[in-house]
Structure 1
Amino acid sequence: MKIFNTYTTTLLIAFFLSACSSTKKVVEQKQELTAVDVLQSLQLTNRYFMNKWTDTGKPIYTNRWRPSNIWTRAVYYEGLMALYQIDKNNEYYNYAVDWGNKHDWGMRNGLETRNADDQACGQTYLDLYEIEAKPERIQKIKANIDYIIKSGKVDDWTWIDAIQMAMPIYAKLGVMTKDQTYFDCMYKMYHHSKTQEGGGLYNKADKLWWRDKDFVPPYKEPNGEDCYWSRGNGWVVAALVRVLSLIPENEAHRAEYMSDYKAMMEALVPIQRPDGFWNVSLHDPTNFGGRETSGTALFVYGMAWGINNGFLDAKIYRPVVEKAWKAMVTEAVHPSGFLGYLQGTGKEPKDGQPVSFSSQPDFEDYGLGCFLLGGTEVYKMLSR
């Protein structure tokens, strides 16, 4: 009897382990990323926003009124144009065109603004011009950048966010006009931010950027590390990706941009959180540590783009990308399409806090733009 019981028990255990193994495989299969799932997440989050903001020209109110062609909304439209690449929905195109029309294809503060936050809208204006070459779409942003170049002043990008807001415009105008002047000025402004502003905002040792001169050492985080703000570094990643996607292979400074891009990608891998996100403070998880969507989405954008274009080793970076994307979709995306864990505007970890699943940032448009940019590249990665 004992033998029978032992044998029966052994069989039951074997059956149980086999069943568990099969269940695990089913769960793993369900968790496997597919391009269809990614696209559905992009459509859901974008639909939420378009339904909420039916009037593309409506000013944005937080603590005061702001026109809706500022940088926050401009980043959303960058993401929307990326989504349009993989999902040719005319609603997206018409929504973007309506936004340009409502603002007369201009910038906040006019043709002589030097503020990159004002110029960011020009990225989408130029994208739309390439689709349909209506002169009003290019006229004002080109006049503004020409004004900047003519001034000879190259120290406007005093904070690293500005690199993303403005740099791709120079790259696109250089390609469109076949005029080296845009590439040359773009590099001078990038070089100033990188090596001269505040003594240089890029730290070669850590391969990351200080947000502006206020955070260059001796400034330290509570744990004694340098302050590398997640979204700020994400902006630089996005700028480099967008510029490298545009400029010719033989452009004089392409190798430097590529080197900086790859160095940043390498630096980000070991500091990814176990849950897939990145902290708002990249080297101090104790300073407002926790999930944060915008920086994470921008890093996903950079890594997935690098995989798709053969610049990064998929064996190393694809698991990082997939882990981060799954984390955002699982933990940050509401059933309505609202994005949680999104840090509000600011320039350092303490700004826009607290950040939680249900917290409402002061602006939610740029976070969605980052998510759409990242998701579009993940979709391409999975579709290859």
Structure 2
Amino acid sequence: MLSAGTSVSGASADWNEKTIRDNLQLVAEWQAKHPKKRSPLHWTYGAFYSGLVQYGLSVPEGPGLPLLRKAGEEQEWKTLNRHYHADDHAVGHAWMEMAMEDGNPAAAEKIRAVLDKVMNRPSSASLQFLTPGCQDRWSWSDALFMSPPVFVKLAAYTGNRRYLEFMDREYKLTCDYLFDREEGLFFRDSRYFTVPAANGKKMFWSRGNGWVIAGLPLILQDMPADWPSRPFYEDLLKRLAAALKKCQSPDGSWHASLLDPDEPPLKEMSGTLF
């Protein structure tokens, strides 16, 4: 993606490493100057910080890491208060990266305390969506981006494989529940098991699958090479990528309903970007 010249996909020769870096900087700086009217610890910021930290680590001279340091210090490296809810773990992607990059234990302290609490008193709620306590588990596809990479990062940071063991168990339960092996795609949650798309095919949400495939490389980059179930995550990434490729439009985008691009006939930018 970062190589110059025209790619196999037909991308313009102008879309080279410098162009990409320049655009990343523009996006990072624009978003920082135009904050949304919600908590800086909200999951939408967690997703932004997750991208921002990867950009910052790749381009250390850019604005990514300074912006994250400022955000983390202003928020005292906290999370929101729903300790079992995966959405409120999402800022932990960036906090943990900054703890490791800067040797700053304070950046890891609060998210670690939250995940320790979850592991020490794990929820036994059903994964069936909208049942009591279901969102104390990873019962919807988004959650597989929000929380598991933070557990894996904590294992790398602390050397404690207990975080990997917990993540492994919960991730596989969710995958067994939401992954459709016939289509190679994830249902967003159990409400969609029997709700068809307008064309009669199964309903798979673009961004829901985007969350999952964006989270898998974050898991794999910190998972030990000898971890027994690493091949499970590698295989899942390949299977999901192959299925998503079949759903991609000729212009490179994806639609909201992956198997029914005509309903609605709109590109789904958050899904496409993930």
2:140/2:188 contact within 8 Å kept? yes
Number of the residue aligned with 1:305: none
Q: Structure 1-normalised TM-score? A: 0.63
Q: How far apart, in 2, do the equivalents of 1:29 and 1:293 lie?
A: 18
Deviation, 1:227, is: 0.8
Structure 2: state its 5+ residue gaps: 1-9, 126-136
Q: Does 1:192 align with 2:173?
A: yes
Q: Does 1:131 align with 2:101?
A: yes
* Two-structure CA RMSD over aligned residues (Å): 1.7
Q: Does 1:49 align with 2:31?
A: yes
Number of the residue aligned with 2:156: 175
* 1:154–1:172 CA distance, 2 compared to 1 (3 A): farther
Number of the residue aligned with 2:138: 157
* 1:275–1:137 CA distance, 2 compared to 1 (3 A): same
| Equivalent position to 2:261, from 264, 285, 288 | 285
1:230/1:280 contact within 8 Å kept? yes
Q: How far apart, in 2, do the equivalents of 1:36 and 1:116 lie?
A: 35
Q: How far apart, in 1, do the equivalents of 2:79 and 2:124 lie?
A: 20
Output the amino acid matched with 2:148.
Answer: M
| Equivalent position to 1:107, from 66, 79, 85 | 79
Q: How far apart, in 1, do the equivalents of 2:196 and 2:188 lie?
A: 13
- Give the count of matched residue pairs: 254
1:154/1:185 contact within 8 Å kept? no
Choose between structure 1 and 2 for higher RCO, CA contacts under 8 A separated by at least 6 residues: 1
Task: Provide the identity percentage.
Answer: 28
Q: How far apart, in 2, do the equivalents of 1:272 and 1:133 lie?
A: 41
Deviation, 1:152, is: 3.1
Output the amino acid matched with 1:273.
Answer: S
User: Which structure is higher in helix share?
Assistant: 1
Deviation, 1:90, is: 5.8
Alignment of 1:119-268 (within 5 A): 119-153=89-123, 156-195=137-176, 200-216=177-193, 218-268=194-244
* 1:29–1:152 CA distance, 2 compared to 1 (3 A): closer
Deviation, 1:244, is: 0.8
Alignment of 1:6-155 (within 5 A): 31=13, 33-53=15-35, 60-61=36-37, 66-89=38-61, 91-109=63-81, 113-153=83-123
Secondary structure, in 3 states, of the residue corresponding to 1:68? coil
Output the amino acid matched with 1:79.
Answer: G
Q: How far apart, in 1, do the equivalents of 2:62 and 2:103 lie?
A: 17
Deviation, 1:34, is: 1.4
String of CA shifts for 1:319-361, please: whole Å, max 9, x gaps.
xxxxxxxxxxxxxxxxxxxxxxxxxxxxxxxxxxxxxxxxxxx
Q: Structure 2-normalised TM-score? A: 0.87
- Which has the greater radius of gyration? 1
Number of the residue aligned with 1:371: none
